[in-house]
Amino acid sequence: MKDIRTLRVGQSTKADVERIMSHHGGGPSQSSTSSCDPVDGAYDVWTGSETIVWLEQSIHLLSHLGRRMWGTAATVILHEGKVCFLSYGVGMEDPERKWEWSVETKLLVAGAIFAPDGSHPGYETRTRDYKGVRRLTSNVTTDATEEERRRAFTYDLSCVTSFRGCRQRCQIAPLVWQDEYHASLKNGTPLPTEETTDSRCKPLETAP
């Protein structure tokens, strides 16, 4: 669903969204968000590992080889005929089956991000562990730079089809994880040790 990520808040039209949704089997939904009131259209699309789920139920050895349930999903909400909100994410069980991973990028309207100093940056990353879900989120507004947008939408799903599967969240969204890692060093809220000590999470690029 790489073309989902080409959509732009305030620029992409209903026709743009419907073309992409039609290509991937998505369709209208009841999704909504207060920042887009009144909503004049919403669409959802999902794709995932139905085959792997069936095989795991039949061949339990697969779960020990790293093959786990996963899925990608996107929600697009329109306001006045243009994209107002977009969420693109990947969900997956962690290797130990202790957590559900949620790696998500959200496109938001300008001013939707609130920093502690009262400013409204165009890009931010967040992480949170809550009720069995380990989240890694990047938020991007129309004020973001092209570099910030690139970082937020850099997903690598090659580990999904690898023999051992995805071992860390940093493999799925490497640049978002890296940006959150640098932020964690500044704010004193460390990321999980199993991630920061894993060579797969070694920073690949300098943070902006």
Q: How far is CA 96 from CA 3, 44, 64, 65, 146, in A?
A: 32, 30, 9, 12, 36
**Which helix (H) or strand (E) segment is 137 a member of?**
strand 133-141
Distance separating alpha carbons of residues 184 and 207, to the nearest angstrom: 13
Contacts of 83 (CB under 8 A, 6+ apart): 7, 8, 9, 10, 11, 12, 13, 16, 17, 76, 77, 107
3-state secondary structure at position 20: helix
The model's pTM is 0.86
Q: How far is CA 12 from CA 4, 7, 122, in A?
A: 11, 6, 19
Q: What is the pLDDT of residue 44?
A: 94
Roughly how many angstroms between the first and final C-alpha of the chain, as a whole number? 26
Summarised one tens digit per residue, pLDDT across range 105-154 is 999 999 999 998 999 999 999 999 999 999 999 999 999 999 999 999 99
Distance separating alpha carbons of residues 178 and 46, to the nearest angstrom: 26
- pLDDT < 70 stretches in the chain: 1, 49-68, 203-208
Distance separating alpha carbons of residues 65 and 55, to the nearest angstrom: 12
Distance separating alpha carbons of residues 114 and 124, to the nearest angstrom: 9
Q: What is the pLDDT of residue 69?
A: 73
Q: What is the pLDDT of residue 14?
A: 96
3-state secondary structure at position 145: coil
| Nearest CA-CA partner of 172 in 151, 157, 186 | 157
Domain assignments of the chain as residue spans, ordered by start: 2-196
